Amino acid sequence: MSITIKDIASTLGISPSTVSRALNGHPDISEKTRKSVKDLAKKMNYQVNQMASGLRTKRSFTIGVLVPKIASHFFSSALSGIQEVAVANNYQVLICQTNESQNQERKYVKSLLSAKVDGFLISLAKGQKTITHIKAIVDNKVPLVFFDRISDSFNVPKIEAEDFKGAHRAVTHLIDTGCRKIVHLAGPDNLTASYNRMQGYKQALKDKNIPIDEKLIIPCDFDPENAKKAIHRLMGQNGDIDGIFTVNDELGVEAILTLKSMNIKVPDQVSVVGFGDFPICRIVEPNLTSIRHNPYQIGLEAAQCLFSQINHKNIDGGSRRVIPSELVVRDSSKTK
Amino acid sequence: MSITIKDIASTLGISPSTVSRALNGHPDISEKTRKSVKDLAKKMNYQVNQMASGLRTKRSFTIGVLVPKIASHFFSSALSGIQEVAVANNYQVLICQTNESQNQERKYVKSLLSAKVDGFLISLAKGQKTITHIKAIVDNKVPLVFFDRISDSFNVPKIEAEDFKGAHRAVTHLIDTGCRKIVHLAGPDNLTASYNRMQGYKQALKDKNIPIDEKLIIPCDFDPENAKKAIHRLMGQNGDIDGIFTVNDELGVEAILTLKSMNIKVPDQVSVVGFGDFPICRIVEPNLTSIRHNPYQIGLEAAQCLFSQINHKNIDGGSRRVIPSELVVRDSSKTK
DNA sequence: GCAAACACTTCAATCGTTTGAATTAACAAG
DNA sequence: CTTGTTAATTCAAACGATTGAAGTGTTTGC
């Protein structure tokens, strides 16, 4: 059906091994044969069969990426960064969406191991308890890098957003602009990213000598519906809340919309700061102050780190890279 | 390194072929051996080597998907639908982002052909002139389905959004609510989707006996910056514009933001209707009226169509499936 | 003039799985 | 006791590319 190395060999009257070496730039091959082989290959529109080549060389030129959700600003941007690096390395990317399900994640890992991917980039599904499937990757000595949703149970490189510092920065900004009673709409705290943002929130309060009120920390599990309910409840009982810091911009936007629907003025009565600097920050009215944390860069560096392992450049064990973030002040927060 | 069929065979003292047949449920194998093989395989954590198996069977259990951009609501949702179907068929998905570059697209096709994917799902990059790379797919008899960004030059199945009818519906709604001078912020007209939306716009005007003014049709190439400039220009010279229909919601949102910045009241002075029903419709103030067109469903059906080809169920040539859309009226349009 | 060095090229095995055909064993039929 | 049938298993050749080792000539050195 499709052209093979043998077809080229036989039409040229030479052996397949010579063709292979010619195409791969082996120095043993004379300039003359190399040229004729390459010319014919191009003319016949030859493409190596990656399965055959991979079987022999034990390299699939494919990496597997696991993300909880493709349709999100953070992950689709990170995927762009990953793709960029993969292309530069002549690699392909198998993208799998776990839908936050551990079971799905386990299946994908199995199937990617079977596909003999040369490496894994994983952002874990939330609610991780049993992570034996991750162990299978490590046991098979397949390179692995965690990004964003990481686990400390494994000695592999990790690329993270600047969650603690970013959150700290956000909350310090709220305090500096006069907020004293600050709510945190939090994520699932078994995710390091959410956990670290919460810690950043707490530390910022401590640093300014504001007591931490656990009742003001509301786990919302990334669901805007929960954010809405929490705000309705809190604003009813606590008239003096003057700031909200949300674990991501989706909840931040929801917070603004909910407050507006309750006729509470943002930022005059309540300031809101999100996390992520998603495009929606500039759409919501008032524009949402947020922490920019470059998901594209996170994907890019995660992929670079993976390829440095794949290419045996260096195997840095549980190294940890934190991608810097910055505060972007917009209209949802202002000095009171 | 990793467990092979031979390892199982030798520990069990049987031949590799028996192991292979046992694992694949071949009827020739006795219940007894089948069980012992399967048990041992599970115990040793055996995973077939897809490269070896694929080389022999000429099936990679992988499909390739080409999209212009991953980080967009439309495509990431479509990808979710595709993934869903792929998983159900025990397939993997190689996702490639062409970044609207034909050159990148060409490279990806080459590389996916080399990876011997069993099928292609393609949403073309804009500005298609030379599509010889697509011909290579057809020539290699690899199943292919176009979705959303389609080309009529090939006799392959196509899955589209209801572009013409949806646009027609949107513009009819504008006219019905009293708009007479309606601007269309259009996409690149070499994309069937944009082209059809423009045609829907025109037809709706015709149907209501409103003359088409070509000066009110502004190609924006999906770039919000162009939308902003166009609105500034048009609203300056044409005081009587009372409606805007945009090729997608991103431009619709930009239109609202621009009009607001010019102190033009939406919807009182100018109504705006977008296309896509992206989540941002409910964030922008006023909420954007739009056409809902279910990208998840488009991805799903495109994948289903591809798999029916892969599994030789039916090879429906240039069939065309249009996924229904619906008008979602929000606050950016109202009866004047 | 013979061996050694060199430049290419081919041979043949291999990667792990699949599969048509051959083999073996067990048993029934004549 | 031979033959035929069936069931279960093994043999061996693929699939297409890669690669160490062996094989060609040709040239160089002494």
Q: Which among A207, A227, A206, A208 is positioned nearest to A217, based on CA atoms?
A: A227
- The predicted pLDDT at position B189 comes to 83
**Would you say residue B12 lies in a domain?**
yes
| The residue type at A122 | I
The alpha carbon dihedral of A25, A28, A31, A34 has a sign of: negative
A56 CB and strand C closer than 7 A = yes
Check if residue A27 sits with its Cβ under 7 angstroms from strand D: no
Same domain for A136 and A192, yes or no, is no
SS3 A63: strand
Chain D bases near protein CB atoms (7 A cut-off):
7-12, 14-20
- Does the residue A129 lie in any domain? yes
Please give the share of chain B, as a percent, with pLDDT higher than 70: 97
In a domain, A188, yes or no: yes
- Reduced to 3 states (helix: H, G, I; strand: E, B; else coil), residue B117 is coil
So what's the pLDDT on residue B316?
67
Q: What is the pLDDT of residues A103-153, one digit of tens each?
A: 999 999 999 999 999 999 999 998 766 678 999 999 889 999 999 999 888
Looking at the complex, report in whole angstroms how far the Cα of residue B304 sits from the nearest Cα belonging to chain A.
Answer: 18
**Same domain? B233 vs B205:** yes
B141 and B212, same domain (yes or no): no
**Full domain range(s) for residue B33:** 5-48
Distances (CA, A) of B32 to A71, A134, B26, B28, B39: 47, 33, 13, 12, 11
Q: What is the pLDDT of residues B91-120, one digit of tens each?
A: 999 999 999 999 999 999 999 999 999 999
Give the H/E segment covering residue A142: none
Length of chain B: 336
Res A330: pLDDT: 97
Same-domain check for residues B258 and B279: yes
Give the pLDDT confidence score for residue B131 in this predicted structure.
79
Distance CA A332, CA A242 (A): 12
The verdict on a CB contact (< 8 Å) between B141 and A1 is: yes
User: Which of the four pLDDT bands, split at 50, 70 and 90, describes residue B312?
Assistant: confident
What residue in B sits closest to A254 (Cα-Cα)?
A: B283
Residue A219 contacts by C-beta under 8 Å, 6 or more apart in sequence? A186, A187, A188, A189, A226
**pLDDT at B314 (0 to 100):** 65
Quote the pLDDT of residue A314. 65
pLDDT at B70 over 80: yes
Are the C-beta atoms of residues B166 and B137 closer than 8 Å to each other?
Answer: no
Whether the predicted pLDDT of A315 surpasses 70: no
Identify each DSSP E strand in chain B by its residue range. 62-67, 92-97, 119-122, 144-147, 158-161, 182-186, 217-219, 243-246, 271-273, 290-292, 320-323, 326-328
Q: What is the CATH number of the domain that holds B33?
A: 1.10.260.40
Task: Note whether B181 and B274 are same-domain residues.
Answer: yes
CA distance A235 to chain B (A): 21
Partners of A285 on chain B (C-beta within 8 Å) are 284-285
Q: List pLDDT tens digits, range A230-289.
A: 999 999 886 789 999 999 999 999 999 999 999 999 999 999 999 999 999 999 999 999
Is the dihedral angle over the CA atoms A148, A150, A156, A160 positive or is it negative?
positive
Specify the pLDDT at position B315. 65
Residue B238 has pLDDT above 90, yes or no: no
For chain B, the domain total comes to 3
Q: Which nucleotide is nearest to A9 if distance is taken from CA to C1'? A: C10
- Give me the helix-helix angle, B249-261 and B224-237, nearest 10°: 50
CA distance A332 to chain B (A): 14
Q: What are the pLDDT digits (tens) for A146-169?
A: 999 998 889 999 999 999 999 999
Nearest nucleotide to B24 by CA–C1' distance?
C18
| CA A195 from centroid of its chain's CA atoms | 16
Q: Which of A92, A50, A224, A246 is nearest to A166 (CA)?
A: A246
Residue B122 shares a structural domain with residue B270: no
Question: How far in angstroms lies nucleotide D25's C1' from the CA of residue A6?
Answer: 24
* A76 domain residue, yes or no: yes
Residue A313 inside a domain? The answer is: yes
Specify whether A284 is located in the same domain as A316: no
Based on the fold, state whether residues A174 and A276 are members of the same structural domain: yes
Phi, psi of B224 (to 5 degrees): -55, -35
User: Quick check: is B117 in a domain?
Assistant: yes
The mean-pLDDT minimum among A216-230, B49-63, B230-244 falls in: B230-244
Q: Do residue B113 and residue B88 come from a single domain?
A: yes
What pLDDT score does B128 carry? 67
CB B132 within 8 A of CB B76: no
Q: Are residues A110 and A42 in the same domain?
A: no
pLDDT value at position B110? 93
Q: Is the pLDDT of residue A85 over 70?
A: yes
**Any idea what the CATH number is for the domain that residue B90 is in?**
3.40.50.2300
Place of tokens 């990679």: B60
Q: Is A89 a member of any domain?
A: yes
- Whose tokens are 């602009």? That residue is A177
Tens of pLDDT along B158-185? Answer: 999 999 999 999 999 999 999 999 999 9
Residues with Cβ within 8 Å of residue B136, at least 6 apart in sequence = A45, B109, B110, B113
Q: Is residue B330 part of a domain?
A: no
The residues near A66 (Cβ < 8 Å, ≥ 6 apart) are A96, A98, A105, A108, A109, A120, A121, A122, A123, A124
Across the interface, whether the CB atoms of A83 and B72 are under 8 A apart is answered: no
The reply to whether B19 and B131 lie within a common domain is no
pLDDT number for residue A265:
95
**Is the CB of residue B20 inside 7 Å of nucleic acid strand C?**
yes
Output the average pLDDT for chain A.
93
Residue B249 has pLDDT above 90, yes or no: yes
Beta-carbon separation of B49 and A73 below 8 A: no
Same domain for B260 and B182: yes
